[in-house]
Amino acid sequence: MKKLVDKLFREQTLTQDELKAVLSADNDLRTYLHECARKTTVSVFGNAVYVRGLIEFTNYCKNDCLYCGLRCSNADVKRYRMSDAQIMECCALGYANGLRTFVLQGGEDLYFTDDRLCALIQCIKAGYPDCAVTLSLGERDKHSLRRLRESGVDRYLLRQETANAALYASLHPPEMSIDSRKQCLYDLKELGFQVGCGFMVGVPGQTLDNITEDLGFIAALRPAMVGVGPFVPHSGTPLGSHPHGDLALTLNIIAILRLMNPNLLLPATTALATIDKSGREHAVLAGANVVMPNLTPSDVRADYLLYNNKAYENIDDVKARLHRIEREAVTARGDYREL
């Protein structure tokens, strides 16, 4: 079975059946897979792990996705929107701590029109011209995305969540479609964004075939970044009683992605830290090389609850954890480099 890992390392691709075999790796093969991914990461990035500042600036969302705690029908959510001044304060805090990438994340909030967002982005870029700005705001039409790009946005994160149409439909309301999601990702690439996609591991109904379909979609898209994390339930959603996704499978996927594209930016996600207190460290040792400590103000942070028991770590916590596994927290922009 190690021959499959060697083939992936050498050719950066496997057949669907070969991928399924590696995804199901036993302990010995898993150890070898992670070791190869770790060596590949170090060969490209050294011991560097990029640190980005996450700002969750609105928890309003027009969508009613079955897995998300921010779904519009969840009446128990205490909704908030941060002001431009509050967002700039978060950027100032991050900048003072050396961070040179700000990730602005929120639900699909209709309040934040193109005009409002563009004005905000221009303000951030004027104040911090040496910093990258990343948005993660769900689907927007191509005209909107073009305006955001022209205003100075460098990167955009949009998980496809699953590339399989039937599984996607089981997790989302009828007005949402995987075709629209994929088209948005291709529009982002065409417009010159550094694009991030990704998916959840362990959502109800997901199979290994679905996961290999996601890996195939990612290989075709050639994104700059891929966020993969376990499904974690939220009690206020229809999927609240389902168990969280599997840690070992998630780590195998991260390792496979690293071998598929050695230059890929791979975050160690908050969801991993939520299901296992050492989840981020495990991910880094399996090939991840990005972490995103939270800059969101403490008075609203607990209201951005995509799932229950969400883990939080500040910049100093993240740096200390990385130091313990002999990794260096690097606060530079860390732009994606093509192979």
Which tens digit of pLDDT belongs to each residue from 54-88?
999 999 999 999 999 999 999 999 999 999 999 99
Q: Three-state SS string across the chain, please? A: CHHHHHHHHHHCCCCHHHHHHHHCCCHHHHHHHHHHHHHHHHHHHCCEEEECEEEEEECCCCCCCCCCCCCCCCCCCCCCECCHHHHHHHHHHHHHCCCCEEEEEECCCCCCCHHHHHHHHHHHHHHCCCCEEEEECCCCCHHHHHHHHHHCCCEEECCCECCCHHHHHHHCCCCCCHHHHHHHHHHHHHCCCEEEEEEEECCCCCCHHHHHHHHHHHHHHCCCEEEEEECCCCCCCCCCCCCCCCHHHHHHHHHHHHHHCCCCECECCHHHHHHCCCHHHHHHHCCCCEECCECCCHHHHCCCCCCCCCCCCCHHHHHHHHHHCCCEEECCCCCCCCC
The pLDDT assigned to 88 comes to 98
**Predicted TM-score (pTM) above 0.95:** yes
Mean pLDDT of 165-185: 98
Mean pLDDT of 4-17: 95
Q: Of the given ranges (25-29, 43-47, 79-83, 154-158), which has the lowest mean pLDDT? A: 25-29
Which tens digit of pLDDT belongs to each residue from 239-271?
999 999 999 999 999 999 999 999 999 999 999
Residue 292 has pLDDT above 80, yes or no: yes
